[in-house]
Structure 1
Amino acid sequence: MTFCDENNIDLIKEELRYLELLAKQYPSICAASTEIINLQAILNLPKGTEHFISDIHGEYESFIHVLKNASGVTKRKINDVFGNSLREKEKESLATLVYYPEQKLELIKKDETNLKDWYKITLYRLIELCREVCSKYTRSKVRKSLPQDFAYIIEELLHEGNKKVNKLEYYNGIIETIIDIDRADEFITAISKVIQKLVVDRLHIVGDIYDRGPGADIIMDKLMKHHSLDIQWGNHDILWMGAAAGSKCCIANVLRISLRYANLATIEDGYGINLLPLATFAMNQYEKDDCKGFKPKTLDKLLTETDTILFSRMHKAISIIQFKLEGQLIKSHPEFLMDDRLLLDKIDIEKGTINLYGKNYKINDTNFPTVNWKDPYKLTKEEECLINKLTNSFVNSEKLERHIRFMYSKGSMYTVYNSNLLYHGCIPLNEDGSFKEVEIAHGKHKGKDLLDTLDRYAREAYFFKNDKKSKAYGMDILWYLWCGPDSPLFGKEKMTTFERYFIDDKSTHKEKKDSYYKYRDSEEICSYILKEFDLEPDSSHIINGHIPVKSKEGESPIKACGKLFVIDGGFCRAYQPQTGIAGYTLIYNSYGLLLTSHEPFESTQKAIKENKDILSSTIILEHVNSRKRVADTDIGNELKKQIKDLEMLLIAYRKGLIKEKK
């Protein structure tokens, strides 16, 4: 025992007030000893499986399926349990049943001729699978995961073993009764959800839940029900956080992106934000403008001609408002070093040109009915009225507020977990690879300190409602994090939104990346970053998202000889033509790290009807000879501290410093 030494009595006396509080929870030697035994036992269990997903971008069907199949972990468990005793089709059907129990049961009940036999066989298979999934957890943890209706029955069946011959009839009787009283469907659904829940111990979302895809709100609803997760904010998440806080610049950007991808489902249906004022304004102001440059990118979504015209006009209207609002913000923050983004005043409307960096470029659209060229960044009264109405809709959306509060409670600029450093974008670097100093609120910050400072201001933007000055600055920081030149979440010199809309010369569309992207394949620089976050470089990794890996061009997601992994592989359908795949995910279990690449997901309907799982390829990144235990994790370190405290409490009892409560 660590503290049995007489020399530690003084230390125990110093901690006596804390130990007296601990004694209320463990009032006797017996209670403290039992808890030490329990905690020591937990330390020897295999570490839980961690699941890393990045850059979901509203693709809720693909995301939910990957969440349900745990990037192939469930399939591997089925193979481990049943090996060659089941045909591949049977394994596929069992996997689909675990993923979508209610929907799959409906189909099976229509086709199955001997339903009772099917129920009996399936129940035994699910119990076997569940037993395997639960094997790395304590009974207490498993018990807490069980649905109330079936908790006792599932626990009994999970702990039935081949040696318990005397209870064989008892267990068979349970199965028979479940079927006979017509509760098999509910039981199958319940145990499938237990498997889904326990197959992964911790979920990590490495940024960008929002934008482009149709169901970010659906994803957020799903995440809010998850048992254990953390989120590293992405630049698109930050934009929505800013919109929910009331930042007009962020609101304009959110609406522009939604209209660019003809994705108003999240805005209108998900969050109940009324876009009628924007539609009315756009139709009035741009009545004779076809707004060709603002035609939405619809992928395979079909829009009527009327909708295309309406969306294009709304798209242009909010874009102009955005450029005006951003111009005002840039002027009020010279420390942001973004004067090169002041572009409206560089337009010569009579010549139809714009002067960028001393060179004139032709603009492809000269219809700016709301711009006063003497004061181009000033909103018209109608624009001001419109943005105020839209802001009111965003800040008063109850569901959006609920989701963003969750984003704050579970999210941060970065996370350190089990020797892995997780962040979405980058750590800003200078050309020589050193950490770049960035001026924030009249102070200069770099490395870890920069991310910690930005995290604090991001929270002030939303929570400092009674401190208007701090809140306003925080909201401006949220916008800066979206597109600022030294933003760790953006990672580029500038965002060339204006140029992409109005200038055909593609040389103006280039967005120079931060030096981080030049150095992220360097073991030395990755070690330098890991040390900055107090991690041991030889046993730690960086897990990164944000910039899609172009797999079809031969780019590897594995950087710096395995010190850094980029897991943005194109979850978002808009990126898949560039990446060639539909995303990477990462699994970290007790045996090591596995990287999985996914092919595009067809549909939930096909997955259920035809047992069509996502086609995935898995490569082992690291494999350990000795399984990692809970003792090797962050949770293990916390448990060791608790054990030391309880050991001190035991000595305090035995020395009479604290009296036992009988």
Structure 2
Amino acid sequence: MKHLTGNETDLHYLQLLAQSFPTVADASTEIINLEAIMALPKGTEHFLADIHGESEAFRHILKNASGNIKRKVNELFGNDIRESEKKELCTLIYYPEEKLELIKAQEKDIEDWYRITIHQLVKVCRDVSSKYTRSKVRKSLPQDFAYIIEELLHESLSDNDKAAYVSVIVNTIISTGRADDFICAICNVIQRLAIDQLHILGDIYDRGPGAHIIMDTLRQYHSWDIQWGNHDVLWMGASAGNDACICNVLRLCLRYANLTTIEEYGINLVPLATFALDVYGNDPCLEFQPKLLPGNTMDEKTKQLTAKMHKAIAVLQFKTEAEIFTRRPEWQMTDRCMLSMVNYEKGTCNIDGKDYEMKSCNFPTVDPLHPNKLTAEEADLMQKLHHSFRISEKLHKHINTLLSHGCMYTISNSNLLFHAAIPLNDDGSLKEIEIYPGRKYSGKELMHNIGMMIREAFQNDSDDKDYARDYFLYLWCGKESPLFCKSKMATFERYFLVDKDTYKEEKGNYFKLRDSEEVCDRILDAFGVKGTNRHIINGHVPVHAGSGENPIKAGGKLMVIDGGFSEAYHKETGIAGYTLVYHSRGFQLVQHEPFTSARDAIAREIDIKSTTQIIEMSAHRMLVADTDKGEELRAQIADLKELLYAYRHGIITERRR
């Protein structure tokens, strides 16, 4: 063994370690504990992408562990209980408080039901906790029932004395009136233990109505991380005070007639509504009618107001974008100052030297000589919207949560996770991108430095804060942005030009080349991803599963898990989202059908219908020793063995209690 006690730095480190493990016995016990943990099965990881505000479906998938709890109930009880009883048990686990109320209103012998159900729940809880140490399970238990649940999990009913002991515990829970509280507690423990780690590959925000609910859920969730998506970064930019991001956020909300999250964040839209009615009162705003999804009804008056607000914020967006593009010429995006390309007399727009017919040329706030200049009224409106975003306490709380749990990429257990793309040259080599003037990066360095820049935008003492705040717009729509990676964002063209050929957004090289195993290996090598079964996992571009597109690409080295959670994508993808599950036996891709509602799930016991596809199975059951956590534990064990050596050779003295 090579010992690290030969210099002052090593000795200082071991002295610090000795404060936690002051004796040979303490250090030895911890080594035994860590060695035992490494022999446990690997924890189950769940990967989700592009949730887009679909809070009910997202929360249900967390509650049912992407169908895993239902599978366990079926395995544990088989034909011992009826299908209806298994459905009821699963629904109880997902929604204990709500389901209990319905059951108590219907059940004739509630005490007998309590008794049977508690035993069933303990059996399920014992199964989902089997791959964890007692210590980790104990930390997951609610304080009120920690001792009781632990006793029930580890007592055997095959022993007559123990069976009587367990029976007394259960009967006492019921007789003291704590059955409801106990059932809710153990159901929540089952939910928590069913998913060891949750990875979200970006895009919590936009389209769906419940991004704020998703963020509230995640703030309470036990273990998760996020790789920021383009829509998350857009909201981060709005929170940081980027006016173009603010306009884009509001435009998307108005486009889908989805203002719930905006209202929850306390963003005041009265000034925008007043301005829109004043300026566009006589404009039918035909191209700005909201996209209403099934179930989202709106009366005609509200629809017309929404369309006018939609157009008003879109024009404001094009002006604020042009201001930033002009301020940052190094981005080479001044060709996207679209209001400068319009011939307001002819009603045409010149793109790459060719004139295109406009659908409408009604721009009452645009001065043809200075098309990107805000009117006094627009400037006042922008100031009010800016202020509203900047003072939203709840929005800033959620953005801080994204910052504390997120980054541009993550490497986890030989898997490289990022939302959209890695900029590539035509030959598939990593492309250098300038993100600060004069500073170019590629691959891992690029993603790291973008992540650092995003954080700079929220630091008051940063010299780069203004540039970093502007850069959110480039991340949203820049050609070489790893969160966009297309030739352009054709928002203006889709709203105003007749020729649909102008709407085309050519995908970047990553999307053209990602089917190549060689290209994927090159990216994995550049990020230092080790392991024989390594993968890239990302989302961003919906997989058209209904048309036969395979989410598994590049010979299994790339997994694209954007299955279209958002209701707006259901027709396009043919499904309603994916969960990639990585457990001790390998990878499974769970394909979800649309979720109706939590109300239906509780009252009618309707679960999300999910289809599981086996992606890759391991020849042996993966243990904690085979994971990143195993690497950490091996390093800790090595350090503890050094501490033992130091104790036994008198280099450090034990501190007896």
Calculate the TM-score normalised by the size of structure 2: 0.98
AA aligned opposite 2:452 = R
The answer to whether the 8 Å contact 2:4/2:10 transfers is no
Quick one: distance in 1 between partners of 2:198 and 2:538? Answer: 15
Q: CA deviation at 1:88?
A: 2.2
Quick one: distance in 1 between partners of 2:239 and 2:9? Answer: 47
1:423 corresponds to which residue?
418
Q: CA deviation at 1:11?
A: 4.1
1:23 has 2:12 as partner: no
1:561 has 2:555 as partner: yes
1:497 corresponds to which residue?
491
The answer to whether the 8 Å contact 2:52/2:205 transfers is yes
Quick one: distance in 1 between partners of 2:616 and 2:198? Answer: 19
Counterpart pick for 1:72 among 58, 67, 76? 67
Quick one: distance in 2 between partners of 1:582 and 1:272? Answer: 30
AA aligned opposite 1:622 = E
Counterpart pick for 2:537 among 530, 539, 543? 543
Q: State the superposition RMSD in angstroms.
A: 1.2
Equivalent pairs, count: 654
1:519 corresponds to which residue?
513
1:458 has 2:458 as partner: no
1:413 corresponds to which residue?
408
The answer to whether the 8 Å contact 2:5/2:646 transfers is no
AA aligned opposite 1:394 = F
The answer to whether the 8 Å contact 1:568/1:583 transfers is yes
The answer to whether the 8 Å contact 1:232/1:422 transfers is yes
- Counting only pairs closer than 5 Å after superposition, residues 89-108 of structure 1 correspond to structure 2 as 89-108=84-103
Counterpart pick for 1:652 among 636, 642, 646? 646
2:580 corresponds to which residue?
586
**Matched residue of 1:8: which SS?**
coil
The answer to whether the 8 Å contact 1:531/1:537 transfers is no
Q: CA deviation at 1:419?
A: 0.8
**Matched residue of 2:3: which SS?**
helix
Counterpart pick for 2:203 among 188, 204, 208? 208
Q: CA deviation at 1:351?
A: 0.9
AA aligned opposite 2:224 = L
Residue range with higher mean Cα deviation, 12-21 or 552-561: 12-21
The answer to whether the 8 Å contact 2:42/2:627 transfers is yes
1:117 has 2:150 as partner: no
Q: CA deviation at 1:86?
A: 2.4
1:479 has 2:477 as partner: no
- Counting only pairs closer than 5 Å after superposition, residues 304-453 of structure 1 correspond to structure 2 as 304-441=299-436, 442-453=438-449
1:643 corresponds to which residue?
637
Residue deviations 1:275-334, cap 9 Å, x none?
101111111111111111101101121111110111111100010010001111111112
AA aligned opposite 2:652 = I
**Matched residue of 1:67: which SS?**
helix
Residue deviations 1:384-416, cap 9 Å, x none?
111111111111100000000000000100111
Counterpart pick for 1:291 among 282, 285, 295? 285
Q: CA deviation at 1:429?
A: 1.1
Q: CA deviation at 1:10?
A: 5.2
**Matched residue of 2:550: which SS?**
coil
Quick one: distance in 2 between partners of 1:242 and 1:509? Answer: 25
**Matched residue of 2:532: which SS?**
helix
Quick one: distance in 1 between partners of 2:586 and 2:4? Answer: 42
Counterpart pick for 2:39 among 35, 40, 44? 44
Residue deviations 1:202-225, cap 9 Å, x none?
000000000000010000000010
1:577 corresponds to which residue?
571
Quick one: distance in 1 between partners of 2:265 and 2:252? Answer: 16
The answer to whether the 8 Å contact 2:413/2:628 transfers is yes
AA aligned opposite 1:212 = R
**Matched residue of 1:185: which SS?**
helix
Quick one: distance in 2 between partners of 1:9 and 1:290? Answer: 76
AA aligned opposite 1:495 = M
Which consecutive unaligned segments of at least 5 residues does structure 2 have?
Answer: none
The answer to whether the 8 Å contact 1:526/1:563 transfers is yes
**Matched residue of 1:539: which SS?**
coil
Q: 1:537 to 1:145 in 2, by over 3 A?
A: closer
Residue range with higher mean Cα deviation, 13-22 or 130-139: 13-22
Residue range with higher mean Cα deviation, 574-583 or 72-81: 72-81
The answer to whether the 8 Å contact 1:530/1:537 transfers is no
Counterpart pick for 2:482 among 460, 479, 488? 488
Quick one: distance in 2 between partners of 1:494 and 1:287? Answer: 31
**Matched residue of 1:493: which SS?**
coil
Q: CA deviation at 1:475?
A: 1.1
AA aligned opposite 2:440 = K
AA aligned opposite 2:355 = N
The answer to whether the 8 Å contact 2:156/2:162 transfers is no
Quick one: distance in 2 between partners of 1:529 and 1:655? Answer: 47
The answer to whether the 8 Å contact 1:12/1:648 transfers is no
1:152 corresponds to which residue?
147
1:235 has 2:236 as partner: no
Quick one: distance in 2 between partners of 1:140 and 1:502? Answer: 61
AA aligned opposite 2:453 = Y
Q: CA deviation at 1:13?
A: 6.5
Which consecutive unaligned segments of at least 5 residues does structure 1 have?
Answer: none
AA aligned opposite 2:81 = L
AA aligned opposite 2:305 = L
AA aligned opposite 1:47 = K
**Matched residue of 2:559: which SS?**
strand
1:619 has 2:603 as partner: no
AA aligned opposite 2:394 = K
Quick one: distance in 2 between partners of 1:142 and 1:185? Answer: 21
